[in-house]
Amino acid sequence: MKLSFPSLFTSETVFDITIYIGFLIFVLALPFGYSTAFLNIGLSLVLIGWVGRTVSERKLGWQRTPLDIPIALFLALALIACLLAPHPATSSLGYFWKLLRAILLFYAVIHSRLGPRWRHVVIAFITAAGISSVLGLWYYANDTRLAIDFMGRVGLQFKEELKGADNPDLQISEDFRAELRACNVPLSENVSISSSNRFPNEWRINDPARQRRYVIRPNETHLMVYMIEQRLTGTFKMPNDLGAYLALSLPFVMGYFVVSWRRDPKQKYRIWRILGLGAVVIVMSANLVLTLTRAAWVSTTIATVFLGIYFIVIALRKLDTRYGLWKRPLLGSTIIIVLLSLSLFLVPQHIKARFQTMIEHPVGFMGERP
């Protein structure tokens, strides 16, 4: 007796669901920098579903895009650069594989055929971005997950001196100051040392006169000295990584926020959608500012400007004086511009100083990642 399965469980449907689940896992794990395994699982499911569906249908079904030729040229140049790199240890084919994975993801999106299920992927993407940004603000408020720079090493003999860190009358010895000075850590006279509440063998030095903070962590042979930067890393490992993610995702969420202002009788819970997207835009913008990643600031600003130009052009083309379909999106764009403008006057001094360096030294900062 031959078993028959309903059309719901055809091989094409199974592979489409595999792609769908892979994209959900990928976008949910994307803003969490330590979830590399989940990112790889999501990408693997997407590629397995894409290749499996192609084999099942026995046709490639390739959809050409205007970016095919530029992407091919870019990959060719990247491969040549990796093969001819003067330092293969730092410019290996592993970096080329990362570029190739990103391009494969682009074409997987083009050929995904998810249809209405893309709505779920977008919701998951925005939700994950919002959760990551809220966690980032919580970390910043609790003075955790900030960037640190390695300054140097000092001898383990000073560990006994640091054990009295909770004593308000503790004075740093001249020998300790000399070793710290050799690590390019010149301390002023009025510094305070405190032990970490989270880690028993970690100490912090606060130098308000120089507006510097340091953390000291022991290893087997030395005390490692790091300078604490007031740069948020959030759920990523580095502030530049967080800045890169926000530079790519924040304009995307802004676009949905602006469009959500459009009056559509078919939309339900429109006011809650506006409030939710607005809250996500605010917390993501705050995270972007707190990264102090200037290249990400510039990238997001340029993307926001072009986004505004796009909506203005669309509004002029589709302006309907009877229904005013595009008055609300224009209002949403205006709100974003006003909030961004006001934020320049409300940010802390160290963020204003970062902006000032962009004006005084316009050459060089764009070398940062992203």
Residue 159 lies in a domain: yes
203: which strand partners? 195, 216
Are 238 and 348 part of one and the same domain?
yes
DSSP code of residue 213: E
The pLDDT value given to residue 126: 94
Helix (H) or strand (E) holding 179: helix 174-182
Average pLDDT over residues 176-201: 83
Are 168 and 316 part of one and the same domain?
no
Residue 238, class by beta-carbon neighbours within 10 Å (0-12 exposed, 13-18 middle, 19+ buried)? middle
Model pLDDT for residues 330-366, shown as the tens digit of each residue: 565 666 666 666 665 555 565 656 656 655 555 444 4
The pLDDT value given to residue 2: 46
Task: Quote the CA–CA distance of 217 and 232 in Å, as a whole number.
Answer: 20
Are 85 and 130 part of one and the same domain?
no
Helix (H, G, I), strand (E, B) or coil at 220: coil
The pLDDT value given to residue 132: 94
Q: Of 33-42, 318-327, 352-361, where does mean pLDDT reach its minimum?
A: 318-327
Task: Quote the CA–CA distance of 332 and 338 in Å, as a whole number.
Answer: 10
Average pLDDT over residues 44-48: 89
pLDDT grade, residue 249 (50/70/90)? very high
Tokens linked to 148: 């640190």
The pLDDT value given to residue 21: 92
| Residue in the structure block whose two tokens are 């959809």 | 63
pLDDT grade, residue 104 (50/70/90)? confident
pLDDT grade, residue 186 (50/70/90)? confident
Chain-wide mean pLDDT for the chain? 79
Q: Of 15-29, 62-76, 163-177, where does mean pLDDT reach its minimum?
A: 163-177
Residue 2 lies in a domain: no
154: which strand partners? 223
Which amino acid makes up residue 370? P
Tokens linked to 41: 């699982």
Greatest Cα pair distance in the chain: 91
Q: Assess whether pLDDT exceeds 90 at residue 56.
A: no
Residue 1 lies in a domain: no
Are 271 and 309 part of one and the same domain?
yes
> If you count DSSP H runs as helices and E runs as strands, how many of each does the chain have, helices first?
12, 5
Are 224 and 179 part of one and the same domain?
yes
Torsion sign across C-alpha atoms 271, 276, 279, 281:
negative
Average pLDDT over residues 117-121: 91
Model pLDDT for residues 291-321, shown as the tens digit of each residue: 988 888 888 888 888 887 887 777 666 655 4
User: In the chain, where do the E strands start and end?
Assistant: 146-155, 192-195, 203-207, 212-218, 222-232
Model pLDDT for residues 126-154, shown as the tens digit of each residue: 999 999 999 999 999 888 888 888 888 99
Model pLDDT for residues 191-219, shown as the tens digit of each residue: 888 887 777 788 888 888 888 888 888 88
Last residue of a domain, one of 191, 209, 232: 232
Task: Quote the CA–CA distance of 131 and 121 in Å, as a whole number.
Answer: 15
Residue 137 lies in a domain: yes
Residue 238 · residue 228 · CB < 8 Å: no
The pLDDT value given to residue 122: 92
Are 249 and 345 part of one and the same domain?
yes
Average pLDDT over residues 108-119: 86
Task: Quote the CA–CA distance of 280 and 293 in Å, as a whole number.
Answer: 20
Claim: this prediction has a pTM higher than 0.75: yes
Last residue of a domain, one of 210, 232, 254: 232
DSSP code of residue 32: -
Are 191 and 268 part of one and the same domain?
no
DSSP string, 49-104: HHHHHHHHHTS--PPP-TTHHHHHHHHHHHHHHHHT-S-TTTS-HHHHHHHHHHHH
Residue 329 lies in a domain: yes
Report residue 186: phi and psi, to 5°: -80, 125
Are 192 and 297 part of one and the same domain?
no
Helix (H, G, I), strand (E, B) or coil at 17: helix
- Based on the structure, what is the number of domains in the chain? 3
Are 356 and 242 part of one and the same domain?
yes
Nearest to 192 by CA among 212, 174, 178, 175: 212
The pLDDT value given to residue 211: 80
pLDDT grade, residue 34 (50/70/90)? low
Are 268 and 357 part of one and the same domain?
yes
Are 241 and 351 part of one and the same domain?
yes
**Residue numbers of the domain that contains 347:** 120-142+234-367
DSSP code of residue 296: H
The pLDDT value given to residue 124: 94
Are 26 and 101 part of one and the same domain?
yes
Q: Assess whether pLDDT exceeds 80 at residue 281.
A: yes
Helix (H) or strand (E) holding 359: helix 349-360
CA angle at 211 for the pair 206 and 212, rounded to the nearest 5° = 50
